[in-house]
Amino acid sequence: MHTQLCDELGIEFPIFAFTHCRDVVAAVSNAGGLGVLGAVGFSPDQLEVELAWIDEHVGDKPYAVDVVIPGKYEGMGELDPVKLEKDLLEMVPDDTRSFARKLYADAGVPEVTERQAPALIGWTEATARPLIDTALNHDKVKLIANALGTPPAEIIDEIHHAGRKVAALCGSAYQAGHHKDAGVDIIIAQGTEGGGHTGEVGSMVLWPEVIDAVAPVPVLAAGGIGTGRQMAAALAMGAQGVWTGSLWLTVEEADVPPAQMQAYFDAGSRDTVRSRSWTGKPCRMLRNDWTDAWESPDNPKPLGMPLQFMVTGEMVARHHQYPDKAQKVGFNPVGQIVGHMNKVRKSRDVIYEMVEECIEATERLDKLMHGA
């Protein structure tokens, strides 16, 4: 249960927990795993507040930050965020924006009154770079992960120069090879079962393909992991640990509205869909009236990243403000492990239960191997 990567990062268990909630980050890191804060929705100033809070609540424990710099997106190459936002806003068709607003109006979700969503968030290099700079100012941040594509070479160099590690997610051995060639320290192989942005290849096929393709670079297994048995399988294949995300949406520390959490509890593993309807790239989430509407051939097609979120960011803000009214059209990113997420637990207990179940699974296998 203690891999080489644990020693390199100063953690007890090879369990990495992606979350947008600082309380979950702190709870996981304090329990011996590595909490990973998703920074894409924060401004640099907001991220600074979140990281300062985490610093105060993790003692001497490390944690990580996740950003999003896609390998391909609209406006790629423009590093001035003000100009980029202006140029992209001019590319958004009025009928697409009107269609999204009508879906929410028809569902009875009021317009936002207290806060407005930013037009452009951290889906681009221009907006992610300041987030990385902010994260590197915090000594307890030991890892910067990129959720989409291989990070630009200069960013990898900057992170390495600061004495931190770089991780990047992938959905194929081909992508993993690009990560390795670029000098990425940790490659996260996420199967299609995973929540959020994910590819098409199943975890049981993807993990060994990536592990073999990039050896000796350490690989974290991701995609549908929510139990110690799955963790044992990943470690048996040669993974150095597991990258988890959906699992932390229903923990006690999660900042998830009751209505949204109940939607997760009510869902089964067949109730998710990969859809471009929120971010512009395939993202696994709960299927609902919103995802169905964007699949209809008579309706507008989702735009590319980051244009689509420049349309849907307003809807996310309305969902946050009126979660009880927005469940049939809301953004509920989650993986197929949602069918296993049926009760609220403390983050600490999730970690310990995964470890215990992983040990039990390996002991059971050991008995089979030795005929006991």
Q: Is residue 372 part of a domain?
A: no
pLDDT value of residue 281: 93
Q: Tell whether 281 is covered by a domain.
A: yes
The pLDDT value recorded for residue 369 is 86
Provide the number of structural domains found in the chain: 1
Helix residue spans in the chain (DSSP H):
4-9, 22-30, 44-57, 81-89, 94-106, 125-136, 153-161, 173-182, 203-214, 228-237, 258-266, 289-295, 307-321, 323-326, 347-370
- pLDDT by residue (tens digit) across 274-319? 999 999 999 999 999 999 999 999 999 999 999 999 999 999 989 9
pTM comes to 0.95
Residue 266 lies in a domain: yes
CA nearest neighbour of 220 among 257, 188, 254:
188
Splitting the chain (372 residues) into consecutive groups of 10 residues, what average pLDDT does each group show? 93 98 98 97 94 98 95 86 90 94 95 68 88 97 95 96 97 97 98 95 97 98 96 97 97 93 94 96 96 95 93 90 91 95 96 97 89 68
Q: Considering the domain boundaries, does residue 212 fall inside one?
A: yes
CATH of the domain at 183: 3.20.20.70
Neighbours of 186 (CB within 10 A): 23
**Is residue 103 in a domain?**
yes
Residue 46 lies in a domain: yes
Paired strand residues for 15: 242
> Can you give the residue range of the structural domain that contains 341?
4-367
201 inside domain: yes
What does the pLDDT look like over 41-54, one tens digit per residue? 899 999 999 999 99
The answer to the question of residue 47 being in a domain is: yes
